Structure 1
Amino acid sequence: MPMLLVEGADPRLRQAMGRVLLATLPGALALLWLYGWGVLLNLVLAASGALAMEALVLFLRKRPLLPSLSDGSALVSATLLALALPAYCPWWLAPSAAASALLLGKHLYGGVGQNPFNPAMLGYALALLCFPQSMTHWPAPHAMGLLEGLQRVFDLDSLRPDAWAQATALDSLRINKSLTVDELFAAHPAFGHFGGRGVEWVNLGFLAGGLFLLQQRVISWHAPVGMLASLLLISLVCWNGTGSDSHGSPLFHLLTGASMLGAFFIVTEPVSGPKTARARLLFGIGVGLLTYLIRTWGSYPDGVAFAVLLMNLAVPALERYCTARQARVSS
């Protein structure tokens, strides 16, 4: 896949991007079942913003529109970003975040194949830093119908956020000071059987899509295995039971938040990630460790986006280290 992401390789790139979009379907359908039409609205609005920005930049750069617009890379970035955004967020948030992702995460560095940062995660992080209130209002599962959702998205209703929003399982566990984990799972509506209520199925959906990408050889196993193994290991080492100060079990961390989306669709982004197999494994390990640290002791409940962006900065060092090590072994 890394060799596909160069301008001029449109047929192969388009095929790879099509398979990535197909692989997001199980997780996206689970999100649609869980949160309703807000997920679909996010997808439509984010895709519109991304394609509009892509067309504008290509026009200003005097590049042909059709080949670049049809290669699917902008649509994939918008889709991954939209799936990470809260459902029923304000109508302007998804397109502005997607447009920022394309402009600042892709075209600022020269377009396809040049970006040092993951565009979708850059757009998400910018939205979280600029609009924290809108980015932290997650709806309760099955809370709204289509009409209520449209009214909420376009700010046509008088409902306050606390009338429909609900703290996520990660956020509830992070701020919990009094209830045991067993009590949280028994009483708090955000908790399901092993992780977040319904979010367990979302993560399993993205796991199924990721396995499809591995089977199709669109991605390699190194970064996903590195991320999930390190997240599993550190959460196991730091797991302090089910008391009120617990950080959550390994299964909780694997099946809550954006763990599987991050492992199979984010850390595998080939341009901003390493090119060699060993470096990809180390990259994934770093993302998993940072995700847990941010979730547990940071200011944000789910640290996948910031973990990926921080590890993007480390990619040149990882590549140099792995190349030098390979040279020493060969000699």
Structure 2
Amino acid sequence: MIRYRQEHPVERRDTMQFTYQFRLYPTREQEEKMNRTLLLLQRLYNAAKEQREIAYKQFGKSVFYSHQQSELPELKEEFPEYKDIHSQVLQDCLQRVDDAFQRFFRGVAGYPHFKSKDRYLSFTYTQPGAVKKTFAKEGYVYLSKIGFMKINIHRPFDQKNVTQINIKRNADQWVANITVKEEYPDISSSIEKAVGIKVAKAHRKVAQKRNDFLHDQSFRIVRDHDLIAAEQLKIRTGNGRRSKKPPPLSISVGGGSIHRGGIFMLFKLGQIFVTSGVRNAIPEEDISRGLVRFVKGNWGIVCKEDWKMNDEAVCNGGRILGAYLSSNHIKFWIITEGDRSATTILLPDEY
């Protein structure tokens, strides 16, 4: 797990949000519950979206998150199956609907679409600290309404400062994306360079062991999806000679890291996806320049409000959106998910 330091000469934040991803090993019964939870949340998402549309088209009224959240107790009475889902998870589902509409109203995203079963793949506990037994059993994580689940915690983190737990279905596996508030690292440049070299070597060793797996995954994704996953994308610029310009950006997607000259960037990109529209319309060097600006906190041509939201998302967690103009005058977006599991490069009309 690589932590990214913000290169900012003026402002310094005392704490930052880091997301750690761990493999889950649910029992058959637990996996059935989680699949059932995703199905019910997908239906709730679509129902909440439809409610907003009907209220506006037929009655000229706007429905907000607070109104829909207050109706959850009635929903549980009418549909008892929703009692098997924790209230935090249900509230997060409604918050996703609200976020989608707010993005549309600000003009930074298209109109929200209904979610299919294949598009709703995760659910989130937004206040895991409220449950004392979340990490009470070693080697397990407690998920309300599901129970203690085996988890492979392969790196340490501060369990007392966990701010949210996102559970995601990844093909035939399940992972937990655990977000933790940690102190801002204070490391000298010499130590950073040494750490950068050690981390690069470690990722190279892991990547060599994963080559066969990555090739199989790439083939499956290209075959089954519209998006192309760049599992080991390397974007380079320049002629290789020494100059005063910054060295080229190097991305190691397999390990979820990004570094340039031993200096860490603001946040992790996770898996990088490039849509076919971008591949056909945007020059590769423009994608490279956009990624460099994006990971350094230059959000491009977004409005002031979204610029501020991006800055807050870097510190507190949340989706990050950058908008850029290519050399052939085509606008493209770069979006990193709130759990830092994936980054998508796409055209606005592909959203």
TM-score (norm 2): 0.36
Larger radius of gyration: 2
Q: Please identify which structure carries the higher helix content.
A: 1
TM-score (norm 1): 0.37
